């Protein structure tokens, strides 16, 4: 299973040639994908009325991982570690990364610059 960051979903939505997207290329690596509930939220707040139906249909095809105590604890660890290094990233990204770490799965993102700051996170 691979956790998809919001940037992966946006790329699929925007690109005409879907075969040029990272998501399309990853389908040979795995047939199971998940998103964090945070990504679900980010997609819905960034969508207009015309896009909602598309997203709700797409989001039914992936596993949505909700936040739990393990994710919250991991997000707090990430925050403290990054703050100590003066390399903080957005809180939403910390929770997305914490979801991947707490579930022991890699994350696919186009925002490698931020996610690579997080120790132990396998970034695709």
Task: Give pLDDT tens digits for 68-88.
Answer: 999 999 999 999 999 999 999
Asked if the structure places residue 86 within a domain, the reply is yes
Predicted TM-score (pTM) of the model is 0.88
17-32: per-residue pLDDT in tens? 878 888 888 777 777 9
Asked if the structure places residue 43 within a domain, the reply is yes
Domain harbouring 59, CATH code: 3.40.50.1010
Asked if the structure places residue 23 within a domain, the reply is yes
Question: What is the rounded CA–CA span in Å between residue 26 and residue 17?
Answer: 15
Question: What is the rounded CA–CA span in Å between residue 45 and residue 68?
Answer: 22
Q: Total structural domains in the chain?
A: 1
Question: What is the rounded CA–CA span in Å between residue 12 and residue 119?
Answer: 28
What pLDDT, on a 0 to 100 scale, did the predictor assign at position 59?
Answer: 84
**Residue 9's closest CA among 35, 29, 48?**
35
What pLDDT, on a 0 to 100 scale, did the predictor assign at position 31?
Answer: 78
Asked if the structure places residue 123 within a domain, the reply is no
Question: What is the rounded CA–CA span in Å between residue 102 and residue 70?
Answer: 6
Judged against a pLDDT cut of 90, whether residue 15 lies above it is answered with: no
What pLDDT, on a 0 to 100 scale, did the predictor assign at position 28?
Answer: 73
Phi, psi of 122 (to 5 degrees): -85, 115
Asked if the structure places residue 121 within a domain, the reply is no
Quote the domain boundaries for residue 47. 2-115
Asked if the structure places residue 124 within a domain, the reply is no
Residue 85 three-state SS:
coil
């Amino acid at each position: 299973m691979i956790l998809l960051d919001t940037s992966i979903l946006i790329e699929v939505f925007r690109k005409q040639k879907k075969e040029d997207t990272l998501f399309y290329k990853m389908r040979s690596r795995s047939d199971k994908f998940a998103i964090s509930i945070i990504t679900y939220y980010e997609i819905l707040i960034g969508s207009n009325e015309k896009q909602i139906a598309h997203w709700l249909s797409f989001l039914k095809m992936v596993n949505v991982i909700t936040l739990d105590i393990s994710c919250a604890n991991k997000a707090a660890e990430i925050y403290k570690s990054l703050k100590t290094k003066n390399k903080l990233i957005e809180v939403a990204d910390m929770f997305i990364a914490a979801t991947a770490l707490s579930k022991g799965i890699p994350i696919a993102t186009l925002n490698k610059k931020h996610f690579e700051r997080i120790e132990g996170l396998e970034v695709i």
